[in-house]
Chains A and B, each alone.
Chain A
Amino acid sequence: MIKAILIFNNHGKPRLSKFYEHYSEDTEQQIIRETFHLVSKRDENVCNFLEGGMLIGGSDNKLIYRHYATLYFVFCVDSSESELGILDLIQVFVETLDKCFENVCELDLIFHVDKVHHILSEMVMGGMVLETNMNEIITHVDAQNKMEKSEVRAASEARVLSIIILI
């Protein structure tokens, strides 16, 4: 099971956090801080795994992370997940983001955090990996975006119409 997925930047500012187990808000923030502390002090050329921090459940858990430019992508997983599998999953995640945002950068994540959540929810559901095939993920994300757009357009048209009529 994946316990949590965290994205934060080089300064430890969270850009996305998704917890699949229940923690109180305070603990969540502490976990983010602790994870950042653990991950950020590691060299660029050391391995991508480290034994989990204290807060998120001790020795059974591992942190698997990758560092891309200004962002850290960290997955907290328990022993049932394979390290390389998760590393691969992070890569799929980032590549999907790249496809959806066209050259993804930190700002995309900041302003479109909801979209990132959509994409993530197509990959991981309730801590279990739902889909690892990038094309499949993009198809579903696109289809839902289209649906959303048509709804928004319909809504705004209706609103403009109602204003015009009333005026």
Chain B
Amino acid sequence: MALKIVKGSIDRMFDKNLQDLVRGIRNHKEDEAKYISTCIDEIKQELKQDNIAVKANAVCKLTYLQMLGYDVSWAAFNIVEVMSSSKFTYKVSCSQLQLQSVDAVLITTIINSVSLPLVTQDLSSPNQYDTGVALTGLSCFVTPDLARDLASDIMTLMSHTKPYIRKKAVLIMYKVFLKYPESLRPAFPRLKEKLEDPDPGVQSAAVNVICELARRNPKNYLSLAPLFFKLMTSSTNNWVLIKIIKLFGALTPLEPRLGKKLIEPLTNLIHSTFCLVFAVLISLSSGMPNHSASIQVRDFPLKYLGLLAMSKILKTHPKSVQSHKDLILQCLDDKDESIRLRALDLLYGMVSKKNLMEIVKKLMLHVDKAEGTTYRDELLTKIIDICSQSNYQYITNFEWYISILVELTRLEGTRHGHLIASQMLDVAIRVKAIRVFAVAQMATLLDNGHLLTGNMQRNGICEVLYAAAWICGEFSEHLEDPMQTLEAMLRPKVATLPGHIQAVYVQNAAKLFATVLRKQEGTTDSLAAQETSQLLIDRLPLFVQSANLEVQERASCILQLVKYIQKLQQKEVEVAEEVTALFAGELNPVAPKAQKKVPVPDGLDLDAWINEPPSESESEDEKPKAIFTKEEPKHTRPRHTEVDEKELARRREARKQEQANNPFYIKTSPSSQKVYQDQPGVEHIPVVQIDLSVPLKVPGMPMSDQYLKLEEERRQKERSERKKKEKKKKREKHGRGRRADSGPESEEDITPAHHVDIVTEEMPENALPSDDDDKDPNDPHKALDIDLDKAQSKSVVMLSTDPAYSQLPSFLFQASDLDFWLSSAPVPPVMQVESGYFIPQVMSAQFLFQKSTKHKKKKQKKEKEEKEKKKKKKHHHHHHHHHHHLHSADESVQNGTVEEEEEPLPVRTWPMWWFCMPHVLGCENYVFVCVYDVQGNLQDGSQVVVSVIFENKTDHFLKSMEFNVLDSLNSKLQRPEGSSPHDGLAVPFQLPPGVSNEARFVFSVQSIVMPQKLKGTLTFIVKTEDASTHEKLDFKLHFTCTSYLITTPCYSDAYAKLLESGELKSSSLKLEGVIMPFHHLLARICFHHHFSVVERIDSCASMYSRSIQGHHVCLLVKTSNQTVSIDAKCDEPSLLGNVLDEIKHTFSQC
């Protein structure tokens, strides 16, 4: 025994350690693989020994081998074993190994079962580095199970005494959140605490984690804005600053006021940020060997970042970037590909009607110059993208575009032939005016088809011939010389083209034939017509022998047809009419989503069985429990027939194939059909090789440049004409010569060269206007998209006894705090948006320019209201009960009733007032548009937030606005501490003319079972040029019971339990004469009364909502013959009664 130990120890002295291994590998340069395989064998031996030190050494070597690309997953168990050793050294080596590569299910379970106790043991080790290593290791191999089990341990570590542990624990929480999203909710308050940790390292870790989280759902972290704001102004850590600025970039679109708040500190920071960027650069350049190089280094990243920043600004402020067009075009000449690609991206957003031709011309020059196919292909796609963006919005001259496309076909070795082809087809089909020109171009292209196909390497480009053939065939009536084109299409050389193109050739040859026949018969030249038939009969057999089935089928079909026609011709029968009838009718473009949007017709139930379902499934059908008082017998919803994946894939494949061979489908991808050249039938055909090394200019083709010139001339002419007219006008209106020479022409001045009528793609009638911007279902971070503001309905209802959730409300979003913080600051002066090319500034301020989309939406809404209002104004003068969509679309999505989103809802029960003031200032009869929206605050059962949007409709400045409400016993406006209950609240902004802004006021409410009306006044000062007047407005705020309800999703099982509990009182309501589809009805209830659909079966649906004080409201809605009956249950009868009254009111108005 003793001897064995000695032997083991001595052996160890001769074991290779990591250094030896590395040295060995370097010494065996020739037979490295062999050497390593012997090493791996040694390692396997070492792992089998009892001595833990030997094993650790082996694992250390494995780490190195893994980096070199050798599979080490077989050692997973040993690695975990070494990890369990008490020696720090050994553990370190393990934590480096990427255990995640061990993904076999078996091994993961081993890791889970083994490492859990080990890691927990380490986590509580007295030595900070032991714990640290355990955490580092854990970061490499967190699994959902581990995350679940260790979440609470790690949370404890977040408040460890040592900052070293704290920061690691904070960071690893992100990994835990990813694998086990449920832990986010309980861990969040502690994470928030860590933002204020005394140690800067921990702070920065917390900032890191929150920034990562905020990418998924920034809304949750809005409440942290004040905290970050403080950090931003106090922190000196560059890393933290950068992260915070990034985070604010994500937050400002959600809260427009934040942007204003940030302007001031940021303008201060811009100076120091500039230093910061500089500091980074200086620290970079200090490592450089000589000074001149460092200056160059400094230039290039900035150029790149500048372009990057500009592309962000472009989204919101296109004007300011457009002035830098020349600079960006220069960047295209840069030798750095990253910069060139960025510049290309920018160009995409910069084009306008005016500069499109010019930009594309420059790009075409680059295409010629560019070496390297990837970049050239990129250029090509960009050119096409730029031209075709937003439905060819910027193209004024389609002839020019077609010639650009034709020029692009001369590119050698491009992969994007199909892209050009689809553009040609699209333009030719949709722009009717261009067809004559397009057909002529395509005919020349076909005529010169051999140039494109001459080289098999240029295979990609021959896709263009597909488009050319189709266009020539379909619009053959525009052809000048159809006979020549027909001849070109039937050349023997065509047989070398890919099969799907040949098929199109054959089909369109037939179309051409029809056209030719008609022409020839029209001139009573029967001999010529017979010759044409003979030509087809001579040439088609070549295609009949094709290896491609599609070609073969079409060719033989058409061949027979032509033979028959020839017979008829010999009998002197006029056939042209009938032949043309074969191809009569126009083919319209179909929108790619059209099929999806076909609405299901009434009375068609796609889920219903066509045949009786198999008998065994019947036993599964359970009768649903009668939960409501009156339960009519209803059909259970039949199960979907499950089509398995394979079957689906097969069908999809089949459909693709079908589409690929269908010339009427505009394809997106080239099909990979092969041409079998070695077929005996093809071999004997004499193929004339025209070997041309230089890409020829296709004769007779107009160059796009000419168009550019023509266009310029045309514009010049137009301009001069316009000037003449203006001069005339000037002469006429002698006194008012204000408008001098019109400088750069504006967008609208450019008229299209000829009238184009862009046919829109066809959609089915009454298509559903749903937008499906599906999120990527594979995104691993999707799980983190948790709305922290919203109490989790399921867990709250079901787990309310769980102590972990009892602390829920304490940390959740407090609207009032944030609002107070946002509004308490003085409004800084509006910053001038400078378009300067001063990159550091642009960088740091870039997010300021990102206007919030929310804001815009509101504006649009308001515009709509204004219009409505103007209409109404004629009839009434005071307080209209108007109803309004203040809820954004996502709410209705939540309810699962998306379809109605776009539908104009005739009745809207959202209470809203407009305050009208007759003739205050003599110009308009109203000063304000105020819109308000009452929203409950789920986190605080006694609070309601009223958001009011003020819009100044006068030409004068409004300031010192004060909002005051006469408190009732039940509802009180929350005022800052120390003010008396009669003081008004200052609205935290002033309104310049035409500007609108939103203010939020928080009301505390005691009882929510009754609707209420509050009287209030708004005072403000109107500042005119010479005087200012004090004005006052009276208004009423209406708090409906509905506004206390909050849309809360509920699962059917929880719902059933709730109803079974027997604590709810019931009530019911009947509505007569409701003529609307059931889903509209549900949508209306969801939208106006904040309900969510729990389950819907046929004409019966159960719905749920929850009040801010936690009352459950359940509805069962049934409809039959215009009668809607609503059975409702709630634990608060008076609330229920009022809600039902409001629902009734909603429907009585329709």
Report which A residues bind B (CB closer than 8 A). 1, 14, 16-19, 22-26, 28-29, 42-51, 66, 68, 80, 82-85, 87-89, 91, 94-95, 110-111, 113-114, 117-118, 121, 125-126, 128-133, 136, 140, 143-144, 147-148, 151-152, 155, 159, 162-163, 166-167
Question: By the criterion CB–CB under 8 Å, are B303 and A17 in contact?
Answer: no
B205-213, B358-366, B660-668, B1020-1028: which lies at the A interface? B205-213
Question: By the criterion CB–CB under 8 Å, are B239 and A117 in contact?
Answer: no
Question: By the criterion CB–CB under 8 Å, are A87 and B135 in contact?
Answer: no
Closest to A144 in B: B129
Q: Is B339 an interface residue (CB 8 A)?
A: yes
Within 8 Å by CB of A129, from B93, B135, B208, lies B208
List the 6 closest pairs (A to B, CB-CB), nearest first. A126-B139, A46-B336, A47-B300, A29-B69, A47-B304, A117-B96
Question: By the criterion CB–CB under 8 Å, are A80 and B171 in contact?
Answer: no
Q: Is B223 an interface residue (CB 8 A)?
A: no
Q: Is B435 an interface residue (CB 8 A)?
A: no
Within 8 Å by CB of A143, from B2, B129, B205, B280, lies B129
Q: Is B841 an interface residue (CB 8 A)?
A: no
Q: Given known contacts A118-B92, A125-B172, A128-B171, is B305 in contact with A85 (CB within 8 Å)?
A: no
A110-B69 Cα distance, complex, nearest whole Å: 15
A17-B22 Cα distance, complex, nearest whole Å: 16
Closest to A133 in B: B201
Question: By the criterion CB–CB under 8 Å, are A121 and B95 in contact?
Answer: yes
Nearest CB on A from B184, distance (A): 16
Within 8 Å by CB of B339, from A47, A88, A117, A136, lies A47
Question: By the criterion CB–CB under 8 Å, are A147 and B171 in contact?
Answer: no
A102-B875 Cα distance, complex, nearest whole Å: 87
B67 surroundings in chain A (CB, below 8 A): 14, 16-17, 113
Question: By the criterion CB–CB under 8 Å, are A47 and B208 in contact?
Answer: no
Interface residue total, chain B, C-beta cutoff 8 A: 84
Question: By the criterion CB–CB under 8 Å, are A148 and B88 in contact?
Answer: yes
Q: Given known contacts A125-B135, A125-B168, is B242 in contact with A84 (CB within 8 Å)?
A: yes
Closest to B127 in A: A147
- Interface members, chain B 1-52 (any A CB < 8 Å): 2-3, 5-6, 9-10, 12, 18-19, 22-23, 26
Question: By the criterion CB–CB under 8 Å, are B338 and A144 in contact?
Answer: no
Q: Given known contacts A114-B60, A130-B168, A159-B9, is B287 in contact with A25 (CB within 8 Å)?
A: no
Question: By the criterion CB–CB under 8 Å, are B238 and A88 in contact?
Answer: yes
A136 surroundings in chain B (CB, below 8 A): 201
Q: Given known contacts A42-B336, A48-B300, A162-B9, is B167 in contact with A22 (CB within 8 Å)?
A: no
Q: Is B481 an interface residue (CB 8 A)?
A: no
Contact with A along B237-252 (1 / 0, CB 8 A): 1110011001000000
Question: By the criterion CB–CB under 8 Å, are A14 and B68 in contact?
Answer: yes
Q: Is B204 an interface residue (CB 8 A)?
A: yes
Question: By the criterion CB–CB under 8 Å, are A49 and B242 in contact?
Answer: no
Best-buried of A121, A129, A132 by chain B (most CB within 10 Å): A121
Q: Given known contacts A84-B277, A126-B140, A128-B205, is B301 in contact with A49 (CB within 8 Å)?
A: yes
Within 8 Å by CB of A140, from B164, B215, B238, lies B164
A118 surroundings in chain B (CB, below 8 A): 92, 96
Total number of residue pairs linking A and B with CB closer than 8 Å: 187
Question: By the criterion CB–CB under 8 Å, are A24 and B101 in contact?
Answer: yes
Closest to A78 in B: B215
A48-B175 Cα distance, complex, nearest whole Å: 29
Question: By the criterion CB–CB under 8 Å, are A83 and B305 in contact?
Answer: yes
Q: Is B766 an interface residue (CB 8 A)?
A: no
Question: By the criterion CB–CB under 8 Å, are B171 and A125 in contact?
Answer: yes
A25-B760 Cα distance, complex, nearest whole Å: 50
Q: Is B950 an interface residue (CB 8 A)?
A: no
B71 surroundings in chain A (CB, below 8 A): 25
Closest to A29 in B: B69
A162-B96 Cα distance, complex, nearest whole Å: 31
Question: By the criterion CB–CB under 8 Å, are A144 and B92 in contact?
Answer: yes
Contact with A along B245-270 (1 / 0, CB 8 A): 01000000000000000000000000
Q: Given known contacts A133-B201, A166-B2, is B22 in contact with A111 (CB within 8 Å)?
A: yes
Q: Given known contacts A25-B71, A88-B238, is B22 in contact with A110 (CB within 8 Å)?
A: yes
B339 surroundings in chain A (CB, below 8 A): 46-47
A42 surroundings in chain B (CB, below 8 A): 336-337
Question: By the criterion CB–CB under 8 Å, are B100 and A114 in contact?
Answer: no
A127-B710 Cα distance, complex, nearest whole Å: 57
Question: By the criterion CB–CB under 8 Å, are A46 and B335 in contact?
Answer: yes
Report which B residues bind A (CB closer than 8 A). 2-3, 5-6, 9-10, 12, 18-19, 22-23, 26, 53, 60, 63-64, 66-71, 87-89, 92-93, 95-96, 98, 100-101, 103, 127, 129, 132, 135-136, 139-140, 142, 164, 167-168, 171-172, 174-175, 200-201, 204-205, 208-209, 211-212, 215, 237-239, 242-243, 246, 277, 280-281, 283-284, 287, 293, 296-297, 300-301, 303-305, 308, 335-339, 341
Q: Given known contacts A121-B95, A125-B139, A147-B88, is B336 in contact with A43 (CB within 8 Å)?
A: yes
A66 surroundings in chain B (CB, below 8 A): 284
A23-B304 Cα distance, complex, nearest whole Å: 30
Nearest CB on B from A43, distance (A): 7
Q: Given known contacts A68-B287, A132-B239, A163-B6, is B66 in contact with A25 (CB within 8 Å)?
A: yes
B53 surroundings in chain A (CB, below 8 A): 155
Question: By the criterion CB–CB under 8 Å, are B89 and A152 in contact?
Answer: yes
A-B contact pairs, 21 of them (CB 8 A): A16-B67, A25-B66, A25-B71, A25-B101, A28-B69, A46-B335, A46-B336, A46-B338, A49-B304, A51-B341, A83-B304, A85-B280, A88-B238, A95-B287, A113-B67, A114-B64, A125-B135, A126-B139, A126-B140, A128-B208, A166-B5
A94-B284 Cα distance, complex, nearest whole Å: 11
A37-B175 Cα distance, complex, nearest whole Å: 31
A130-B201 Cα distance, complex, nearest whole Å: 7
Nearest CB on B from A18, distance (A): 8
Question: By the criterion CB–CB under 8 Å, are B92 and A87 in contact?
Answer: no
A111 surroundings in chain B (CB, below 8 A): 18-19, 22-23
Q: Given known contacts A22-B103, A24-B101, A125-B136, is B10 in contact with A163 (CB within 8 Å)?
A: yes
Question: By the criterion CB–CB under 8 Å, are A117 and B70 in contact?
Answer: no
A1-B280 Cα distance, complex, nearest whole Å: 20
A46-B930 Cα distance, complex, nearest whole Å: 55
B280 surroundings in chain A (CB, below 8 A): 84-85, 87-88
Question: By the criterion CB–CB under 8 Å, are A121 and B136 in contact?
Answer: yes
A144-B1007 Cα distance, complex, nearest whole Å: 62
Closest to B137 in A: A121
Q: Given known contacts A29-B69, A133-B201, A151-B89, is B101 in contact with A84 (CB within 8 Å)?
A: no
A42-B340 Cα distance, complex, nearest whole Å: 13
Question: By the criterion CB–CB under 8 Å, are A80 and B246 in contact?
Answer: yes
A152-B136 Cα distance, complex, nearest whole Å: 22
Nearest CB on B from A16, distance (A): 7
A110 surroundings in chain B (CB, below 8 A): 22, 26
Nearest CB on B from A104, distance (A): 12
Closest to A63 in B: B338
B167 surroundings in chain A (CB, below 8 A): 130-131
Q: Given known contacts A117-B96, A121-B95, is B300 in contact with A46 (CB within 8 Å)?
A: yes
Q: Given known contacts A25-B71, A25-B101, A88-B284, is B301 in contact with A47 (CB within 8 Å)?
A: yes
A44 surroundings in chain B (CB, below 8 A): 293
A43 surroundings in chain B (CB, below 8 A): 335-336
Nearest CB on B from A90, distance (A): 9
Question: By the criterion CB–CB under 8 Å, are B87 and A151 in contact?
Answer: yes
A167 surroundings in chain B (CB, below 8 A): 6
A80-B96 Cα distance, complex, nearest whole Å: 25
Nearest CB on B from A23, distance (A): 8
B96 surroundings in chain A (CB, below 8 A): 114, 117-118, 121
Within 8 Å by CB of A91, from B3, B277, B284, lies B284
Question: By the criterion CB–CB under 8 Å, are B172 and A148 in contact?
Answer: no
Assuming A47-B336, A118-B92, what are 6 further A-B pairs, CB within 8 angstroms?
A: A113-B22, A114-B96, A128-B171, A129-B204, A132-B239, A166-B2
A14-B337 Cα distance, complex, nearest whole Å: 25
A83-B307 Cα distance, complex, nearest whole Å: 13
A89-B93 Cα distance, complex, nearest whole Å: 24
